[in-house]
Chains A and B, each alone.
Chain A
Amino acid sequence: MEVRTAVGGARSIVARRTRRRATLAVAWAGLGTAVLLATASLVLLVVTPPVAAEPTLTGSRPVDGGILLAFLAYSAFGALIVARRRDNRVGWIFLGAGVGFQLWLFAHRYAVAGLVAWPGALPGATLAAWLTLWIVVPGFVLAFTFLPQVFPDGMLLSPRWRPAAWFAAAALIVWAVTWATVPGPIAGFPGVDNPVGITAIGRLDSGIGWVMFVLAVLASAASLVVRYVRASGVARRQIRWLAYAVAWMGLTLVVVSVGSEGVRAAEVAGEVLFPLAIAGVPLAAFVAIFRHDLYDLDVVVSKTLTFGVLVALITVAYVAVVATVGAVAGAAGELSLTLAVVVTAVVAVAFHPVRTRVARLADRLVYGSRATPYEVLAGFSRRLGGTLDAEDALPQMARIVGEGVGATAVDVWLVVSGGLRRVALWPTDPHRSSPTSPEAGSSPGPGTDRVVEVRDRGELLGTINLTLPEGRTLTPTEDRLVRDLAAHAGLVLSNVRLLEQLKASRQRLITAQDEERRRIERDIHDGVQQRLVTLALALRMAATRAGRAPPTELEARLEGIAAEVAETLAELRRLARGIHPAIVTEGGLAAALESLAQRAPVPVELQLTPVDRLRTSVEVSVYYLVAEALTNVAKHARASTATVALDRHADHLRIEVADDGAGGARPSPGSGLAGLTDRVAALGGRLELDSPAGGGTRVRAEIPCGS
């Protein structure tokens, strides 16, 4: 048995290795094909003699060459992804699209050579011309529909998106077939008729395939958007990389179309940018899949924005200068190389201050609402004025600091007895690794770039730790800003600490009060009550010992005193119960609430979820709360029934006492309910009274009961 398992295991390892080797072979063969095709295209591009009205793809041979190389990136990154993750369809899509594009480019070059440059010299030139009609379609459909559908993990978002994939496949076939069979001359090659032109299909309007393709692209984009919205963490960052590449492509297309309108500068920029944009998509996908943790996309975006705006500005200035100089010189159009260089240099120098501004603007766009130090400080004071709650103040402070200086992360640490405790973080990403508690006054901990101490009258209250984007440091202004904020933060932190101390002290008071009441109750039962019972017993015995019918006056008086003592005892019992509900500590909360329900004059329904024993102060508070609420129901509500519900939700105990009475209850100062509100608040909970006139009364409370 064991032997067979071992053999089976070995066999499966061998099979896996074989499959892996086959996969790699296919991947490298795909890349090899693409490289061969690209090389052949480049050779043709160089050796083909210039011809008049040459049909180029982009308008010029050099740009055609650039695009050729750019499309190689598809095959290269595709093969790289396949080699490492052969299960991820993204790699195969790029590999396939890359080969498709190269086929298209090669077919085009070959047709140009065989039909225009050396007519009749190359075999199969007409076939190549026909291929240019449609061979680009598979690459397009792969890159624009299947890729967004399965990015980044190679799987469809869910089986429900399968129809979108099938539709994309259908669009591919319809588009390729309608374009491959368009009758008449082949576009770009006048005089060469489509060898497989089919009028019947051609009449079908070759636009149908295009429309289907556009619809498929929209569906795929929708899938990616849905994936982004649902995703978190890594998947989100991966999709942002791809989105960034696509956005870049979009910008480039804008530049190119401006260029095709005759703006020379935009044309030049487009010729450089377009191949880069093409190669950018597979590059971004590769980075997204393997290196998303290595580079900070935000930095890349910020640098791109700076660069893009600068290029645009320089272009505008260049055009302006050229137009002016051209008009002055009377020589419209061509400028000498020297003049172009001079203009560029002047623009570059003049725009250095602009560059700084642009970089700042780009940072602000990328990192959030950074403003001038004064604005940040003012905003800080304003927001702090708006909140008194310590739980709000610190996260707000972290956010203000973070947004103020463009940090990636801010942690606020509070000095508590025996060390530092992180009391706020920004952004509030629970996945963010929490840096280890830094030692006060020492160098910043790992992952922290700047630690600012918060002091109040010289006493260290806490620290503000900043993490900055890669490669960024605080400017002197920003550093001063953080220190100013830290000075203000002293007030906040000392407030927070005071509040924490106050909370603890209130809890101690409640606990002490409960303890005291319990002691008094015990003293009553074990001391006074015990003595009174003994006394009453003695009195009764004295009365009966003396008692021979008919009772004497003394016996009657002894009996009377004994009865009086018995009354006192009953009263004492009620009093003791009011001081401390012994039943809570002895029988537990459920038993205590049951006894309350039993004593209430109104029928009470109990909905108690079993809970473990809790802190005495919590249990006793719940008892007082229910007792007070039921007393109010009996006294004021004119209700026919009441409900007491108790359950535990995470680390909170929830209590609700509801009745179907007249409602309209108001907590008046000094009332039992007001006292209970304080008690519940002291335990860190809150109490709500909901009592619309005619709509019954609900008293709800939530008390933390962390285990």
Chain B
Amino acid sequence: MRVVIADDSVLFREGLAALLDRSGFEVVAQAADADELAALVAADLPDVAIVDIRMPPTHTDEGLVASIALRERHPDVGILVLSHHVGSHQAVRLLADNPAGVGYLLKDRVTELTGFLDAVARVAAGGSVIDPEVVVALLDGHRRRGRLDTLTPREREILALMAEGRTNHAISDQLVVGIKTVETHVAHIFAKLGLLPAPEDHRRVLAVLRYLRVG
């Protein structure tokens, strides 16, 4: 899989590139700021771009702005945004219209090697990834507003895992329950939230995300 990395710290870029190279990804280019990123993506059309939110010149949300622009110009290029802190509003901005092939993770997640590599692969393949902390924040916010009150704690737990982009299989593994049980829960969740079950895994995530955003 072809990867572009955008981050203003050379050390970090090199470290990340080393990790990705070693793990079977092909790092085709590295960018130090948003403009360079846009040029490189247009030239190389990678499977996924890993973008730091804070980049020169103001170190606020250049990466986010650049990512949203990239999404419009190259919808097939996956974007994994790395943030320094939990900004659920940023995640919502990024995932709002079409969360397919988009990810939003805390930068620290990079050090959880397997989980991080898995996330890169999922985004490159057109899936969605949201940092668990963001999901918790969003879920908490929505629970308070009473929208998810009808769900049981177990269903809520499963919804959170779904929102992270896990498959039913992964959820059943994590919760140590049967795959059938998970499917029943998922069906209940959709029924309670008034969502039609969709055939593909990531479509369910889209539905959940859309619910989280709108709700």
Chain A contact residues, CB within 8 Å of chain B: 522, 525-526, 529-531, 533-534, 536-541, 544-545, 562, 565-566, 569-570, 573, 576-577, 582-583, 585-587, 591, 594-595, 597-599, 603-605
Q: List 28 A-B contacts (CB under 8 A).
A: A525-B59, A526-B54, A529-B84, A530-B9, A530-B11, A530-B12, A531-B9, A531-B11, A533-B110, A536-B110, A537-B19, A537-B111, A540-B111, A544-B113, A562-B111, A569-B111, A570-B108, A573-B84, A582-B84, A583-B87, A586-B61, A587-B87, A595-B86, A595-B87, A597-B144, A598-B138, A598-B144, A599-B140
> In angstroms, how far is the closest chain A Cβ from the Cβ of B98?
21
Known interface pairs A569-B108, A598-B141; A585-B54 also in contact (CB < 8 Å): no
With a 10 A CB-CB cut-off, give which of B106, B137, B144 has the most chain A CB atoms: B144
Tell me the complex Cα distance, A595–B18, Å.
35
Contact yes or no, A576 B113, CB < 8 A: no
Tell me the complex Cα distance, A273–B134, Å.
91
With a 10 A CB-CB cut-off, give which of A530, A537, A544, A562 has the most chain B CB atoms: A537
Tell me the complex Cα distance, A531–B15, Å.
11
Known interface pairs A529-B84, A541-B22; A534-B89 also in contact (CB < 8 Å): no
Contact yes or no, B15 A586, CB < 8 A: no
Contact yes or no, B107 A533, CB < 8 A: yes
> In angstroms, how far is the closest chain A Cβ from the Cβ of B128?
20
Taking the complex as formed, is B16 at the interface, i.e. its CB lies under 8 A from any CB of chain A?
yes
Kindly list chain A residues whose C-beta atoms are within 8 Å of the C-beta of B15: 534, 537-538, 541
Contact yes or no, B89 A595, CB < 8 A: yes
B1-23: CB near A (< 8 Å → 1, else 0) gives 00000001101100110110010
Contact yes or no, A595 B137, CB < 8 A: yes
Contact yes or no, B113 A540, CB < 8 A: yes
Contact yes or no, A583 B54, CB < 8 A: no
Kindly list chain B residues whose C-beta atoms are within 8 Å of the C-beta of A529: 84, 107
Kindly list chain B residues whose C-beta atoms are within 8 Å of the C-beta of A537: 12, 15-16, 19, 110-111
Contact yes or no, B84 A525, CB < 8 A: yes
Kindly list chain A residues whose C-beta atoms are within 8 Å of the C-beta of B110: 533, 536-537
- Across the two chains, which residue of chain B brings its CB closest to A545? B22
Known interface pairs A576-B85, A597-B144, A599-B137; A534-B113 also in contact (CB < 8 Å): no
Kindly list chain A residues whose C-beta atoms are within 8 Å of the C-beta of B19: 537, 541
Kindly list chain B residues whose C-beta atoms are within 8 Å of the C-beta of A565: 111
Taking the complex as formed, is B88 at the interface, i.e. its CB lies under 8 A from any CB of chain A?
yes
Known interface pairs A536-B111, A541-B113, A566-B111; A586-B87 also in contact (CB < 8 Å): yes
- Across the two chains, which residue of chain A brings its CB closest to B8? A526
- Across the two chains, which residue of chain B brings its CB closest to A605? B144
Chain B residues 136 to 151 lying within 8 A of chain A, measured CB to CB, are 137-138, 140-141, 144
Kindly list chain A residues whose C-beta atoms are within 8 Å of the C-beta of B8: 526
Chain A interface helix/strand/loop/mixed: helix
Q: How large is the interface on B (under 10, 10 to 19, 20 to 34, 35 or more residues)?
A: 20 to 34
Pick the residue among B16, B85, B113, B140 that contacts A582 (CB under 8 A). B85
Contact yes or no, B60 A583, CB < 8 A: no
Kindly list chain A residues whose C-beta atoms are within 8 Å of the C-beta of B11: 530-531, 534
Tell me the complex Cα distance, A529–B11, Å.
12
- Across the two chains, which residue of chain B brings its CB closest to A590? B89
Taking the complex as formed, is B167 at the interface, i.e. its CB lies under 8 A from any CB of chain A?
no
- Across the two chains, which residue of chain B brings its CB closest to A581? B85
Kindly list chain B residues whose C-beta atoms are within 8 Å of the C-beta of A577: 85
- Across the two chains, which residue of chain A brings its CB closest to B138? A598
Kindly list chain A residues whose C-beta atoms are within 8 Å of the C-beta of B84: 525, 529, 573, 576, 582
Contact yes or no, B85 A573, CB < 8 A: yes
Closest 7 CB pairs of A and B: A591-B89, A536-B111, A598-B141, A587-B89, A525-B84, A537-B15, A603-B144
> In angstroms, how far is the closest chain A Cβ from the Cβ of B126?
26
Taking the complex as formed, is B172 at the interface, i.e. its CB lies under 8 A from any CB of chain A?
no
Contact yes or no, B12 A586, CB < 8 A: no
5 A-B pairs besides A576-B85, A595-B88, A599-B140 with CB distance below 8 A are A525-B85, A536-B110, A586-B90, A597-B144, A598-B138
Known interface pairs A540-B113, A541-B22; A534-B87 also in contact (CB < 8 Å): no
Tell me the complex Cα distance, A522–B8, Å.
14
Tell me the complex Cα distance, A594–B134, Å.
13
Chain B contact residues, CB within 8 Å of chain A: 8-9, 11-12, 15-16, 18-19, 22, 54, 59-61, 84-90, 106-108, 110-113, 137-138, 140-141, 144
Tell me the complex Cα distance, A562–B22, Å.
19
Contact yes or no, A522 B59, CB < 8 A: yes
Chain B interface helix/strand/loop/mixed: helix
Kindly list chain A residues whose C-beta atoms are within 8 Å of the C-beta of B106: 573
Tell me the complex Cα distance, A573–B22, Å.
29
Tell me the complex Cα distance, A533–B11, Å.
10
- Across the two chains, which residue of chain A brings its CB closest to B53? A586
Tell me the complex Cα distance, A604–B146, Å.
11
> In angstroms, how far is the closest chain A Cβ from the Cβ of B64?
9
> In angstroms, how far is the closest chain B Cβ from the Cβ of A296?
63
Tell me the complex Cα distance, A598–B133, Å.
11
Tell me the complex Cα distance, A536–B16, Å.
11
Kindly list chain A residues whose C-beta atoms are within 8 Å of the C-beta of B108: 533, 536, 566, 569-570, 573
Kindly list chain B residues whose C-beta atoms are within 8 Å of the C-beta of A534: 9, 11-12, 15
Contact yes or no, A533 B137, CB < 8 A: no
Tell me the complex Cα distance, A603–B145, Å.
8
Known interface pairs A534-B9, A562-B111; A594-B140 also in contact (CB < 8 Å): no
- Across the two chains, which residue of chain A brings its CB closest to B139? A598
Contact yes or no, A583 B140, CB < 8 A: no
Tell me the complex Cα distance, A603–B19, Å.
42
Contact yes or no, A541 B18, CB < 8 A: yes
Tell me the complex Cα distance, A422–B96, Å.
52
Tell me the complex Cα distance, A603–B113, Å.
36
Kindly list chain B residues whose C-beta atoms are within 8 Å of the C-beta of A536: 108, 110-111
Known interface pairs A544-B113, A583-B89, A598-B140; A533-B60 also in contact (CB < 8 Å): no
Kindly list chain B residues whose C-beta atoms are within 8 Å of the C-beta of A576: 84-85
Tell me the complex Cα distance, A534–B8, Å.
13
> In angstroms, how far is the closest chain B Cβ from the Cβ of A425?
45
Kindly list chain B residues whose C-beta atoms are within 8 Å of the C-beta of A591: 87, 89
- Across the two chains, which residue of chain B brings its CB closest to A599? B137
Contact yes or no, B111 A598, CB < 8 A: no
Pick the residue among A526, A531, A538, A583 that contacts B59 (CB under 8 A). A526
Tell me the complex Cα distance, A595–B108, Å.
20
Contact yes or no, B85 A583, CB < 8 A: yes
- Across the two chains, which residue of chain A brings its CB closest to B143? A603
Tell me the complex Cα distance, A544–B116, Å.
14
Contact yes or no, B61 A533, CB < 8 A: no
Tell me the complex Cα distance, A277–B74, Å.
93
Tell me the complex Cα distance, A562–B15, Å.
14
Tell me the complex Cα distance, A26–B56, Å.
86
Tell me the complex Cα distance, A531–B84, Å.
12
Contact yes or no, A598 B12, CB < 8 A: no
Kindly list chain A residues whose C-beta atoms are within 8 Å of the C-beta of B144: 597-598, 603-605
Pick the residue among A541, A562, A585 that contacts B60 (CB under 8 A). A585
Tell me the complex Cα distance, A583–B8, Å.
21
Kindly list chain A residues whose C-beta atoms are within 8 Å of the C-beta of B107: 529, 533
Kindly list chain A residues whose C-beta atoms are within 8 Å of the C-beta of B87: 582-583, 586-587, 591, 595
Contact yes or no, B18 A594, CB < 8 A: no
Pick the residue among A522, A587, A605 that contacts B90 (CB under 8 A). A587
Kindly list chain B residues whose C-beta atoms are within 8 Å of the C-beta of A603: 144
Kindly list chain B residues whose C-beta atoms are within 8 Å of the C-beta of A583: 85, 87, 89
Pick the residue among B12, B59, B89, B140 that contacts A533 (CB under 8 A). B12
- Across the two chains, which residue of chain B brings its CB closest to A603? B144
Kindly list chain B residues whose C-beta atoms are within 8 Å of the C-beta of A525: 54, 59, 84-85
Pick the residue among B22, B60, B141 that contacts A597 (CB under 8 A). B141
